[in-house]
Amino acid sequence: MIIRRIKLKNFRQFKGEHLIEFPYQENRNVVVICGPNTAGKTTLIQAFLWVLYGKTDFKTKDLLLNLEVADLMMPGDKEEVLVSLVLVDKGIEYTITRTQNYICRSNGNVVPEDGGGRISYRELNGNMKHVVKQNDINDYINRILPEELSSYFFFDGERISNLSRKDKAGKQELSSAVKSILGLTEISNAIEHLSGGSKISVLGMFRNSLDLESENRAKEIKKKIEELEDERENKQKIKADIEKEIKKYDELIKEIEEILRQNEETANLQKQIDENNKKINLLEELIEEKIKGLRGRISQGAFSYFCKPLIEKIEKDLKEFNSSIDVVPKIQAETIDYIIKRGICICGNEIEYGSEVYYRLAELKKFLPPYYLGTAINDFLNDAYSFKKEAEKFLYEIMKMYEEYMKKIKEKNDSIEENSEIMKKIGEKKNMESYKKDKELYSKQKQIKEKELIDIVARLENINKQIGESNKELDRLAEKNEKNKFIKLCIEYAEKIRETLEEYYTRKENEIRVRLNEKVNQIFSQMYHGEKRRIIIDSNYNYEIITENIGSELSDKADESRGLETVASFAFISGIIQLAKERITAKFVNKMGDEEEELEIELESEPYPLVMDAPFSNVDEIHVRNVSKILPEIAEQVIMFIMAKDWNYAKDVLSNKVAAMYELKKLSETCTVIQRV
């Protein structure tokens, strides 16, 4: 960091505006500001501190405003105190401004009013950036030159002794300040960034983002899935069993239905049997009729039938015998007797006894049976003829009737046979009722099983759904767990980096301290011409001057002049500055497994200016020269506020390094001007 210029306006005794340029060249890096005591050298340092940190250390604290200006203020007047510092840090030119307004009260008191600060700089893209918030301003400034270190670089010669003491007034954060300068802060920042507070550090954030919840959940879900799968297997077995049972019931029911159906057939067959029986009955009736008919016909007609052949046997002879006789047919003697007795003929004529008719009739008697055979024979032959006639169709008729009768009997027998066949088919008549009951029972049980099946199927569906959902969730969690894995990996990496950095840091720090020790002692020995003394720097970067011949315990008691202390302080600071000036390239060998990797970390440090107020006030002549010789080489830029007398000592050594010289002319107690020489 290089200081370019500082502008003061009404700051303390610097009434009005004053501008101090700090030109900078490689071989001329010293700016001297000369002036007597109370001219304002210390004030100038204070100006730096004020513009940077808002701090002052004046005895009359409140009023920064130039008193003359304040005196001239009328009630209501406002005046401004302004300090503006332009510096270059890491290639960027910053303009740091601080103002403090003062107002004159009605009572004539001048009091501070509002104030403010601003940092302006030009960004890389060319835009001007203005930082106005005080916190932000503080951040910027502390990055450029941390406040803890301000005492080193804004060197107050009168307070030099503070540096070497290990007391509370000393620098407790000295170590961090040193580290900051030497670039270790970046690393410790990195470490802090990695592993600091749990909420904002990398590791903390990683850890926070670990979703352990999801890991636990994943375990739960896996367990659940296992359980579900077990249940599923189980239920599937049960399902198979149920299906088997249902099948069994189906078969049983089918069997029974078959039997019942056969029974239906039986019913049908039974029907057939009944119909046949009806038929049989009808036929039987018919047969009865036919029998009756036949018997009747036979009873009635058999006579003439049997007569016929006998008639044929004898009729010829009889006919012959009777052929010649002419008889009155069918009249018997009795008939004549009856007619004669009656006295009236059948034709109606009277028959008188003794008349011709009477005698004729009596005559006829002779020819009548029983008197005359022929008549009888004639009668007989006539009967014979009629019987023969009757007999002609007899056999044919009864045979016909018989045929039909036989037909009917056959029909009847066929039906009977059919029935007996059917009866055979029907077989044993079992009790259908018990079958029906069984069928009902099986049907009910089948229904129950079917319902169970439905339930199980539903449950299986449910289980499958749950398994599916759980697996989906598992996948989602797996993503998270992947994330977790990744995060864990990142954590590992971060830890490793942290480890590496810490190790490096420790080593480096040690190295630096060693180097610092070396450097400081080197410079010290160049500056100090007294007895062999050494500076020892401890881990907190507090340093001690030890006399080599005397043990360290006694060194405290050794008489150390302020000059020695001052020189020691110079050496210390110079050591720091010099180290800071160097670029430290670290070769860090990281042993990873078998391979050695070299980790290069470049710790960049900025060169720092040294702004010194009365640096030589406690230093004797020789030391002044020595110190003067070294300082410009150590610091990038040296700005000295010095008394004329001290300048005389240093002039020889420094004059060829002076880039500009200013003189503080004290015009009054309340007014000083700065003039370039």
Q: Which residues bind another protein (CB under 8 A)?
A: 291, 294-296, 298-300, 302-303, 305-307, 309-314, 317-318, 321, 369-370, 373, 376-377, 380, 383-384, 387, 395, 398-399, 402, 405-406
Q: How far is the CB of 316 from another protein (least distance, A)?
A: 10
CB of 251 to another protein, least distance (A): 54
Q: At closest approach, how far in Å is the CB of 382 from another protein?
A: 10
**Please, which residue, 140 or 380, has the CB nearer to another protein?**
380
Give the integer Cα–Cα distance in Å for 145 and 142. Answer: 5
Least spacing, CB of residue 354 vs another protein, in Å: 28
Whether the link from the prior residue into 632 is cis, omega within 30° of 0, is: no
CB 653 within 8 A of CB 638: no
d(C-alpha 390, C-alpha 456), whole Å: 95
The nearer residue to another protein, 285 or 312, going by C-beta atoms, is 312
Residue whose CB is less far from another protein, 213 or 289:
289
The answer for residues whose C-beta is within 8 angstroms of residue 518's C-beta and 6 or more apart is none
The type of residue at 238 is I
Residues 6+ apart with CB under 8 A from 297: 394, 397, 398, 401
State the DSSP code for 74: P
In the complex with another protein, which residue's Cβ is closer, 338 or 359? Answer: 338
Least distance to another protein from the beta carbon of 285, Å?
Answer: 17
DSSP H helical segments within 535-620, as ranges? 552-555, 562-581
The total of other beta-carbon atoms located within 10 Å of residue 532's CB is: 10
- Closest approach, Cβ 321 to another protein, in A, equals 6
Q: Which residue's CB is nearer to another protein, number 381 or number 537?
A: 381
Look at strands 637-642 and 609-613 and give their pairing: parallel
Q: Which of these, 432, 588, 394, lies nearest to 505 by C-alpha position?
A: 588
Residue 495: is it exposed, middle or buried by C-beta count within 10 angstroms (0-12/13-18/19+)? Answer: middle
Q: Is the separation of the CB atoms in 41 and 35 below 8 Å?
A: yes
Alpha-carbon span 13 to 58, nearest angstrom = 12
Q: Give the shortest CB-414-to-another protein separation in angstroms.
A: 17
CB of 292 to another protein, least distance (A): 9
The residue among 114 and 284 lying less far from another protein, judged by its C-beta, is 284
Identify the CA nearest to 538 among candidates 499, 502, 572: 572
Nearer to another protein, 210 or 298 (CB): 298
Burial class (CB in 10 A: 0-12, 13-18, 19+), 562: middle
Q: How far is the CB of 286 from another protein (least distance, A)?
A: 15
Nearest to another protein of 94, 372 (CB atom): 372
Q: How far apart are CA 12 and CA 31, in angstroms?
A: 22
In this complex, which beta carbon is closest to another protein, that of residue 321 or of residue 588? 321
Exposed e or buried b per residue across 109-139, where buried means at least 16 C-beta atoms within 10 angstroms of its C-beta: ebeeeebebbbbbeeeeeeeeebeeeeebbe
Least separation in angstroms between CB 402 and another protein: 5
CB of 346 to another protein, least distance (A): 22
Nearer to another protein, 271 or 400 (CB): 400
Listed as own residue / partner, the contacts of 589-592 with beta carbons closer than 8 Å and 24 or more positions apart are 590/500
Nearest to 545 by CA among 509, 517, 580: 517
- H or E element that contains 9: strand 2-11
Place of tokens 């670990």: 210
Comparison of 23 and 370: residue with beta carbon closer to another protein: 370
Residue (317 or 600) nearer to another protein, CB: 317
Name the minimum Å distance from CB 260 to another protein: 43
Distance CA 301, CA 402 (A): 14
Question: DSSP class of residue 65?
Answer: B
